[in-house]
Amino acid sequence: MTEVLEGLAVFGVVIALGWLLVSTGALPRDADSILTRVCFFAATPALLVLTLSRADLDAALSPTTAAAVAAELAAIITAWILHRLILARPRAEAAVAAICSGYVNAANLGIPVSILILGEATPIAPILLLQLLVITPAAFTVLDAATRRGSPSRFATLTAPLRNPLLWAVVAGVSLNLAEWDVSEASVGPLARVLELLGAVAVPLMMLALGMSLAGAPGPPSLGRRADPGPGARRPGSPLWWAVAWKLLVMPVLAGLLGLAMGLDGADLLIPVVVAGLPTAQNVFMYASRYGTAQDLARDTILLTTAGFVPVILVAAAVLG
């Protein structure tokens, strides 16, 4: 528990510094977008390559990560059923609400949280692959069909994950690991130094960018304001608060129950619960904006789950740590 508190304290101070830099005008309100792109295209891929090339891959294929993957799938599927069949939301909005309820911020927050709290980033790799290779294409397919606003090229839409540098960083790191090629060897020493230099700045830049984004947010959440219910609506309810509750409460509980069913306990059980407790990824807002569907829902869920995930992790650490 002490290690968790120390890790979250460091996390909070750096985030607060990012918020302060923008709030005081030392940096422009959109400064986070530059840092995010640096992380996405350079620093985070370098960190993933180094981490996975040296990791114990058995940990990435262990029951702990299996529980995290299963919890994410279960959360998204059950959220879809809730929003589509019980709350009677339109198909496109239900799709956005479902991924709001389970698509975790694995890169920008998952990696630093895993390193600071769990001591390694290996458990995040399977989640990244699940989201990039399965959930994203599936969401695009549903949204294409629901909105009939597909991209000019369906091929471009379905192959979008292949243009994501994080995917190729995972592939490269795992490949180096399986080949038993130590990137620290003299033959590739300069490459290792470049990767280490870039990877070392990934975590602090991601935390600074998060603080900057909170300071530069366009406004307060809509606090549960619903879109017009449409002719098929049958029951009241706020899609926003359901999505936030599903992400911060239901998904960690699912991870805990699945972990228990797989025989996990203590620190091993904490891993899937922490991963499940991560906030909704910013990618979800990008997807919603791309299809002109439920953008307020996506934005507000990201903001509220980002603000609320720390207490969830603290409670999980207190119970399981």
Query: Using H for helix, E for strand and C for coil, what is the string for 208-260?
Result: HHHHHHHHCCCCCCCCCCCCCCCCCCCCCCCHHHHHHHHHHHHHHHHHHHHHH
Residues 197-253 have pLDDT tens digits of 998 888 888 788 878 877 766 555 555 444 444 443 444 458 999 999 999 999 999
Residue 185: exposed, middle, or buried by beta-carbon count in 10 A (0-12, 13-18, 19+)? Answer: exposed
Q: How far apart are CA 237 and CA 123, in angstroms?
A: 35
Mean local confidence (pLDDT), 127-153: 77
| Of the candidates 94, 104, 100, 97, the residue with the CA atom closest to the CA atom of residue 71 | 104
Phi, psi values for residue 205, rounded to 5° = -65, -40
More confident residue, 130 or 255: 255
Residues 11-32 have pLDDT tens digits of 778 888 999 999 999 999 888 8
Predicted pLDDT at 82: 95
Q: How far apart are CA 57 and CA 59, in angstroms?
A: 5
Q: Lowest mean pLDDT of 65-74, 201-210, 254-263, 296-305, name the range.
A: 201-210
- In order of 97, 160, 161, 172, 243, the CA distances from 102 in angstroms are 9, 20, 18, 27, 9
Asked if residue 185 has pLDDT above 70, the reply is: no
Predicted pLDDT at 245: 96
Predicted pLDDT at 31: 86
- What percentage of the chain has pLDDT greater than the value 90? 27
Question: Domains of the chain (ranges plus CATH)?
Answer: 1-217+237-320 (1.20.1530.20)
Residue 59: exposed, middle, or buried by beta-carbon count in 10 A (0-12, 13-18, 19+)? Answer: middle
Pair 298, 288: CB distance under 8 Å: yes
